Amino acid sequence: MNIFRLAGDMTHMFSVLVLLLKIHTIKSCAGVSVKTQELYAIVFATRYLDIFTSFVSIYNTFMKLVFLGSSFSIVWYMRYHKAVHRTYDREQDTFRHWFLVLSCLLLALLIHEKFTFLEVLWTFSLYLEAVAILPQLVLLQRTRNIDNLTGQYIFLLGGYRGLYILNWIYRYFTEPHFVHWITWITGLVQTLLYADFFYYYFLSWKNNKKLN
């Protein structure tokens, strides 16, 4: 464990907690894409399949449970909680995300480190996570302005993988033959997808005006 990875995990945890808090307290999911939340639930479900078979540490297992629990409860709130579901913007959240799932699955079957069930699904989860934010970013461009909790959620979510990149650089230089091209490339693509969001988020913060 290094400071970059810990910072990354904390940033990631705060992002899901910010969103869960927003939905739970003000009973609103305005501006939030349920498709991105569903993709993230699939990402965690397919990445943490080994949660019971391979024990890494208490921290690792605890965080896996936090991410699984939060992503599935956010989807549950947005799909089945009456008050929250009413604030869901169905007309605008129209990204065909099942195509993302299918193409990532095909890609994982083609490009992976080892052709085993767990490894292919783990690779699939990396590909899917890289593009999971797309429905949310598309929805963002359609809704005029977004409330700052949703903005903070996206900012933290985009930042966590950027911190992971620093963690991979650190591990590359400190651990012999720590090389994982698939993880690195997907992590880089994922972070780059947030580039223009970060730009506008920074502008709104600098000029102290609403993000739109």
Partner 1 sequence: DIASQHHDEL
Q: Does 93 bind partner 1 (CB under 8 A)?
A: no
Q: Which is nearer to partner 1, 138 or 189 (CB)?
A: 189
Q: Which segment (69-77, 79-87, 118-126, 143-151) binds partner 1 by CB under 8 A? A: 118-126
Query: From the centroid of its chain, how far is CA 115?
Result: 25
Shortest separation between residue 36's beta carbon and partner 1, angstroms: 18
Contact string (CB under 8 A) for partner 1, positions 50-89, x = contact: x---x-x---x--xx--x----------------------
Q: How many beta carbons lie within 10 A of that of residue 1, not counting itself?
A: 10
Phi, psi of 38 (to 5 degrees): -65, -40
Q: What is the binding site for partner 1 (CB under 8 A)? A: 5, 9, 12, 50, 54, 56, 60, 63-64, 67, 113-114, 118-119, 122, 164, 167, 178, 180, 183
